[in-house]
Structure 1
């Protein structure tokens, strides 16, 4: 078959891997059953069992022998993918430690945040990697402020898709800009619970596990909701979300109290927290006292809103 129109999600996985997720999404997009794929391979004198195809698709094994690599090349044509789209996912990987190993096109949280010397230790203590075989389909943050410009809450809704089998959790990282004022707490709202939670003595970071209400296999999704609550003394003139990997869709809403409306509000993005602003533009604060931004295909880095009180 000819090359198919590739969805945003499949295009992302073809850039970042892993191989199993790319193969799974390509098969789903093609509409072909494993039996049909096996028959088309056999017509090219390439013999691969349905069990082997299923194992490749689920990440239980990887094609390594020359005959298997020939099958992968043939799969690209059968599934309507560009040449080498799957083969490129099987290149040699550098031997790296678990906590430094991350897929191409992603960033470690310790690279995103400035002054993150304590963060790596917290991630080790929680023992759930940031890049945990999950593609973030969509994120929605609702950041609310009170009448004294204080931060009240952050409600987050997320849809994630597993790119490997037996994925049961994600990890939450919050950076406190106002160290010493107390740390927020994380509370489950829907379809998840909070696992191990760690914070550093300097009150800069909170790291917590978000445990899904069921275990996900490759291609399955979870829709979770959780709330971050803040000490009453914390005020803020901005909020930004860190993206360690490309994310499909992002909606940020900032809700102001009628007694404390900002003079101006701006959208911005950065590669890292201490990097210069990019894409700076003014955002309207509506008659119901809220501002928002909508982003698609967000690359690794930071995206947020900031406001001026005077």
Structure 2
């Protein structure tokens, strides 16, 4: 049983080293090493670096992060003490953060205005929902199932996410959905598994809906949750694309687009963009199978946009 736990820790640590954040890497590295904080503190002290147990605990749980020169020297020593590759922990910190609330995203994240054309509305909704997902949660996996109907219209989006808490007492995440068709009935969101819907914010004219997803239990740092929910958008206009905007890195992204048997497009392509205004990259035709669906799978997805578009004729 212990060997299974050790293997799981090694696998999670390897993933965190690729995706961050700093707190998750430090927490998993400490767990994998089997060392107590007191032992780590003593090792640092022997090298002339004084760090309190409270500070080490705060770094590990994401409540604060090292910024002063002495603290950064401690981080480099932690790499050696915990058996991590050189620069692997210090690189998770990125540039020094400006002071003040939400002045900038952590290193490796994109601002909302680079992901949404109607970013002002999205920022307003997220602000009202107190969205701290970038700081508190790491997305290990995200799976979207986008369903279209016989009139080529979007019907629903079902999303399953595997999330890991970077700090203690994480209880919720926020989901945002956008539709191009604002003429149909209002969008709805339903919780499917391991969560319930909290507060909602919408921009009807902009076709936007944001929702809190409250987990079925409060997470401690390093713990995971699998949540599943669906957006319902009974549109009337044909849809010709779907994409997901990632503000931060994601370990795995799976997108399935399911077409109605009576309305299958002539061809389908996947694409990527660094920002919403950037040109398409990585364009590649995607096979539509005999069951009238197409999919893409991507690993270690950086911040940006990824999706599929299709042509009906």
Q: Please tell me the TM-score bracket, short chain as reference.
A: 0.7 to 0.9
Secondary structure of 2:119's match?
A: coil
2:220 is matched with: 217
Q: Contact between 1:153 and 1:228, CA under 8 Å: does it hold in 2?
A: yes
Structure 2 Cα separation of the partners of residues 130 and 108 of structure 1: 13
1:281 is matched with: 284
Structure 1 Cα separation of the partners of residues 181 and 270 of structure 2: 21
With over 3 angstroms needed to count, the CA separation of the structure-2 counterparts of 1:83 and 1:252, relative to structure 1, is: same
Q: Contact between 1:132 and 1:170, CA under 8 Å: does it hold in 2?
A: no
TM-score, normalisation: structure 1: 0.86
Task: Specify every segment of 5 or more residues in structure 2 that has no aligned partner in the other structure, as ranges.
Answer: 1-9
Cα deviation, residue 130, structure 1: 4.8
Residue of structure 2 aligned with 1:93, choices 92, 97, 102: 97
**Match status 1:22 vs 2:25:** yes
- Report how many aligned residue pairs link the two structures: 302
**Match status 1:164 vs 2:171:** no
Q: Contact between 2:16 and 2:24, CA under 8 Å: does it hold in 1?
A: no
Cα deviation, residue 115, structure 1: 3.1
Q: How does 1:136-285 map to 2 (within 5 A)?
A: 136-285=139-288
* 1:47-81 deviation digits (Å, cap 9, x = unpaired): 66655533432234555777655543321211122
Residue of structure 1 aligned with 2:61, choices 52, 58, 62: 58
**Match status 1:78 vs 2:81:** yes
Q: Contact between 2:156 and 2:234, CA under 8 Å: does it hold in 1?
A: no
With over 3 angstroms needed to count, the CA separation of the structure-2 counterparts of 1:297 and 1:87, relative to structure 1, is: closer
Structure 2 Cα separation of the partners of residues 275 and 7 of structure 1: 31
2:15 is matched with: 8
Task: Specify every segment of 5 or more residues in structure 1 that has no aligned partner in the other structure, as ranges.
Answer: none
TM-score, normalisation: structure 2: 0.86
Residue of structure 2 aligned with 1:306, choices 295, 300, 309: 309
Structure 2 Cα separation of the partners of residues 287 and 115 of structure 1: 37
